[in-house]
Chains A and B, each alone.
Chain A
Amino acid sequence: MHLDVVLLSRLQFALTLMFHYIFPPLTIGLGLLMVIIEWLWLHTKDTFYKSMALFWTKLFAINFAMGVATGLVMEFQFGTNWATYSRFVGDIFGSALAAEAIFAFFLESGFLAVLVFGWDRVSPKMHFFSTCMVATGSLFSSIWITIANSWQQTPAGYHIVKSASGFWRAEVTDFWAMCFNPSMVHRMLHVWLGCFILGAFFALSIGAYYVIKKEHTRFAHTTVKIALIYAAISSVAMLVSGHFQAEAVSVNQPAKLAAFEGHYETGTGGTCLYAFGWPDDKSKTVKYGLSAPGMLSFLVHHNFTQPVNGLDKFKAEDRPPVFIPFQSYHLMIMLGMAFIGVSLLGLVLLKLNRLFEQKWLMWIYVVSVLGAYTANESGWVAAEVGRQPWVVYGLLRTKDGVSHSVTGEQVLTSMIMFAIVYSFLFIVWVMVMNARIIAGPPLMEDLAQDDAKIAPESKKGIRQFWAMVGRLLERGPASLSETWRGPAPTMSGSETESKSDTKSGQAEDKAAGEKSNLSGEDNNQEAKP
C-alpha cells in the first residue's frame, strides 16, 4: 500500500498544531487578566481579589502544562517530518525558535513556578512581579513564533545559497528585515488580540455561568464586569486589526486573498465581498452567497470599479485551495462581529444596571468561549491553508519540504497515536477544568485564616534575596545549608504546634534557619548544590 507522506505529514501537523493552539492563546489572554487582578489586589489589599487570582492561577497552570507538553511536539516535528524544509529555513526559522526558548520560555516557566506554588513562599509584591514576568514571557514567545511564521508567509532579509552540505537554503542577510518582515507587525497584533479575546470570553463564560447558577455572586459579577470591558476593547481593536491584516494580505499574498473571497475569475468591474457562501471549484463561482458588490475592490483599491486579481491570474500550480480558506476566513469574521455585538450589548446593559437579569445573554456568554476558540483556530487555518501550495511563500513548495527517510507507515502510526492520545487528553482536560470551575474560587474566610498563619516576614521578597546573597558572600555556600537540615534543635519546643500546619511549620523552619545564622552557631558543612 502506498501512503502519501506529504499528505499524512500535513494532516499530522494540522492535528498537533490545532490541538496545541487550544492552550497558548488562553494562557496569553488569561495572563494579562491575572496581572490586572493581582494589581487590584496589591492596590486595594482586598482578599477578594486574591481569591480571584488564585482561582485563575489554577486554571492557568493546567493550560500551561498542556501547552508545554504539546508545544514540544511542534518543535520536534519540523525536524522529524519536514527535514527538507528544516534544512531550507534552519538559518532563519531556527534562530527565531532558539531566541524564543532563550528569551521567553525560561522566563515563563521559571516564574510560573513562583506564580503557581509561591503564594505562601514569597511576598505579594514578588508574586505580582512573577505574574507580570509570566505574562511578559508568553508575549515574548508569541513575538518570536509569529516572526517565524510571518517570514514563511512573506520572506524578507534573506538570500538563497548553496550550503556546505550541498543543499539550497535561505540565509539571513539582514536580521531586522527578517524579523520585521512585511506581514509581521499586523499579524502580531492580530494574534495578540485573538488571544486577549479568548482570555476575555473564557473569563466571561465562567462568570456568566456562576451568575446563572447564582453562586459566588461577588466573584461572578466582578468577573463579568472586568471580562466585558476586556472583551469589548479587544473585539473592537480586532476589527481595526482585521482590516489592516486583510489589506496586508491583498498586497503580500494576493492569491490568498482571492482564495479567502472565493474570487475565481478576475472579470471586469468591481469585485464583490461575500458575507457567506459556498465556493464551488467546478463552476468557479460562489453559490448561495450574500455579497456586497464592489466592496472588495473598495477595500483593496479604494474604488468600486477596479477589479481585484482573481485566481485565474495565477499559474494553476500556484493556486491555493479555495473551500477551506473561504469558509474558515468567513467563520472567523462572523465570529469577530458577534464578539463586538455581544460585548457592547453587555456593556450597555451594565450601564443600565440590567445586565445580570438577562439570563439568555448569560447563556450566550457561557457558550461564547467556544466561539473564541473557533475564531482563533479558523483564523490560523485560513492563514496556513491560504499559503498553500507553498510552505515558504514563493520559495519552497509544501510537497518538497517533507523528510525523505520517513515512510508513510511511520507517519500514519504516529498520527493515529497522536489522535488517540490527544482525544484522551482532551477529555481529561475538560474533566479537570470542569471540576475546577464547579469547585469555584476559594473562600475568603479560608484565605484570611491561611494568611494569619504565615508571618509576613517569612515570605521571600527582594530584601530576603539580597540578604541571602549577602550571607553567601560573607559565609560561603554553607550559609545555604540550614534549610537542608530541617528544624534546628533549639526550635524543637515549637515543633509540636507547628506540625498541625505545614505552612507555619515552614515559617518556623525559615526562622530557625535565620536564627542559627545570626548567632553564628552553624557548624554544618553541607553545601547546597
Chain B
Amino acid sequence: MFTAEYSMNLAWFILLGILLTGYGVLDGFDLGVGILHPVAKTDEERRIIINSIGPLWDGNEVWLVTFAGALFAAFPDVYALAFSSFYTNLMIILFALIFRAVSIEFRSKHKAVIWRQFWDGCFFLSSISATFLFGYIVGQLFLGLPIDAQLELHKEKMSFIELYPVVTGLLAIATCAMHGSIFLYLKTEGELQERIHNWMWHTYGIFIMVYIMTTIFTLTQIPSATANLTRYPWLWSVVMVNVLAIGNIPRAVFLKRPGYAFLSSIATIAALAALFGIAIFPNFIVSSIDPGLSLNIYNSAASKGTLKTMLLIAVLGLPFVISYTVIVYWVFHGKVKLGKFSY
C-alpha cells in the first residue's frame, strides 16, 4: 500500500497524467480540427482551417513524444508491455500521425485539385483514425489485458471484439471534434464561422450522447472504475468539475463567449483524463487473468535514482516548456489570416 517511500512513484504517476492531459488538451483541438475540416467548402476555407493549427500542431505532438519518453523512463515495464501489447493499434496510429504531418506540409505545395483532395482525404482519415485508436486503447486499459505470470500478453485470451473500447474510441472522436470546433470558432470569421457555430452545437450534442453512453457502460460493466471514488470521496470533486465544465460549454456558446467555452472544454478533457487516472490508480495495466499480476506504480517503476533525476529534469524543463508555449501561442493568437507564409 501507499507509503512515503513511494512518493516519487506517485509524483511520476501524476506527472505522466499531466503530460497526457497536456497532449489531450492541445493535440485534442488539432485532431478535432482535422476531423471537422471537411466542413470547409472552398479551398480558401480549407486553408484557413489548416492554418489555424499550422504553426501549432507539431509543438502539440511533442507532448505525446514526451509522454512516451517519460513513461519509458519512469515505468519501463509499463512502456514495454503496453507498447508491445498494442502493437497493431500503435502501428496504425503511427501511420496516421505520419500522414497527418505530411498532409499538412505537402498539401500547399501544389495547386492541382486532385493533389489537394488527396491530402485533404489523408488529413481527415488520419485525424479521425488516430483519435479513435487513442480512445480505443484507453478503453482496453479500463477493461484490463490478459497479462500472465511472465508479465507478457496472453494473446489467446485477448478478445478484440469488446464493445467498450469502441465506445471510448467514439467518445474520443466526439470530444476532439467538439474541442476542435470551439477552437476553430475562435480562429475564424464571417460565413465560415457561422457554419462552425452550427457545428459547435452538432458536435456538442453528439458528445453528450456518447458521454452518457460511456458513463452508463462504465458504471455497469466496469465496477473497478469507481473503486477509488468510494475509497477517497474527495475525488468526487473531479466528477463535479467534469459535469460543470460540460454544462458550461453550451452556456458559454449561447452567451457568445467562445473563450469561456474553450476553457470549459479544456477542463472537460482534463477532468476526463483525471477520471481515467483515478479509475486505474494505482495500476497502469490491470491483468484480467489475475489482478495480482497487474502492473502498478510500485512494481513497475524505474530505480529511485532515475525517478529523482527525472523529476529534477522535469522541474528544470517544465518552466521552459511553458514559456515557449506561451511565446508561440502569443505570436500566433488572433484570427487566421492567410499570408505568404501560410500553408
A interface residue numbers (CB < 8 A to B) = 61-62, 64-66, 68-73, 75-76, 78-81, 83-84, 86-87, 89-95, 97-103, 105-107, 109-114, 116-122, 161, 163-167, 169, 171-173, 175, 403-407, 410, 414, 417, 421, 425, 428, 432, 435-436, 450, 460, 465, 468, 480-481, 483-484, 486, 502-503, 505-506, 509-510, 525-529
Contact = CB atoms under 8 A, between A and B. Distances in A.
Given A86-B83, A106-B325, A65 B105 contact: yes
B72 A86 contact: yes
Contacts of A76: 68, 83, 90, 94
Given A93-B72, A481-B259, A483-B335, A80 B328 contact: no
Contacts of B80: 79, 83-84, 86-87, 90, 403
5 A-B pairs closest in CB distance: A90-B76, A79-B83, A94-B73, A94-B72, A113-B55
Contacts of B266: 529
A489 B110 CA distance: 38
Contact of B324 (A65, A97, A110): A110
B301 to A, nearest CB: 7
A451 to B, nearest CB: 11
Contacts of B334: 483-484, 506, 509-510
B176 interface: no
21 contacts: A65-B102, A66-B101, A72-B61, A72-B98, A75-B69, A78-B83, A87-B77, A90-B79, A94-B79, A102-B66, A105-B66, A113-B331, A117-B342, A120-B339, A121-B331, A404-B152, A436-B109, A465-B330, A483-B333, A502-B338, A527-B259
A505 B337 CA distance: 9
B254 interface: no
Given A72-B65, A98-B72, A100-B69, 7 more contacts: A75-B65, A83-B80, A99-B310, A101-B66, A111-B324, A117-B55, A421-B99
B292 interface: no
Nearest to A122: B331
B84 A171 contact: no
B77 A119 contact: no
B87 interface: yes
A276 B58 CA distance: 44
B62 interface: yes
Interface in B66-109: 66, 68-77, 79-88, 90-91, 94-95, 97-102, 104-106, 109
A525 to B, nearest CB: 7
B105 A172 contact: no
A175 B306 CA distance: 8
Contacts of B54: 117
A90 B302 contact: yes
B56 A113 contact: yes
B313 interface: yes
B106, B152, B303, B318 interface centre (most CB from chain A within 10 Å): B303
Contacts of B85: 405
Interface string B285-325: 00000000001001111110110011001100110110011
B79 A79 contact: yes
Contacts of B257: 525-527
B263 A75 contact: no
Nearest to A79: B83
B328 A110 contact: yes
Given A70-B98, A528-B259, A450 B340 contact: yes
A68 B339 contact: no
Nearest to A166: B151
B99, B320, B330, B331 interface centre (most CB from chain A within 10 Å): B331
A49 B103 CA distance: 30
A97 B262 contact: no
A120 B342 CA distance: 11
A405 B100 CA distance: 29
Given A94-B73, A175-B305, A164 B298 contact: yes
B272 interface: no
B58 A528 contact: no
Given A165-B300, A405-B153, A86 B321 contact: no
Contacts of A86: 72, 76, 79-80, 83
Nearest to A75: B68
Contacts of B340: 119-120, 450, 503
Contacts of B4: none
A111 B320 contact: no
Given A90-B73, A172-B305, A118 B331 contact: yes
A99 B313 contact: yes
B193 to A, nearest CB: 10
A80 B306 contact: no
Given A80-B84, A103-B317, A414-B91, A506 B327 contact: no
Contact of A79 (B72, B259, B262, B337): B72
Given A98-B69, A101-B69, A171 B262 contact: no
A105 B65 contact: yes
Contact of B263 (A98, A486, A529): A529
A403 B70 CA distance: 20
A94 B69 contact: yes
Contacts of A525: 257
B341 interface: yes
Given A98-B73, A175-B305, A417-B91, A403 B84 contact: yes
Given A165-B151, A484-B186, A465 B263 contact: no
A87 to B, nearest CB: 5
A403 B90 CA distance: 14
Given A66-B102, A120-B340, A503-B340, A114 B77 contact: no
Contacts of B258: 484, 526
Contacts of A95: 73, 302, 306, 309-310, 313
B110 A435 contact: yes
B59 interface: yes
A101 B62 contact: yes
A68 B306 contact: no
Given A98-B72, A165-B151, A529 B82 contact: no
A91 B70 CA distance: 10
Contacts of B325: 106, 110
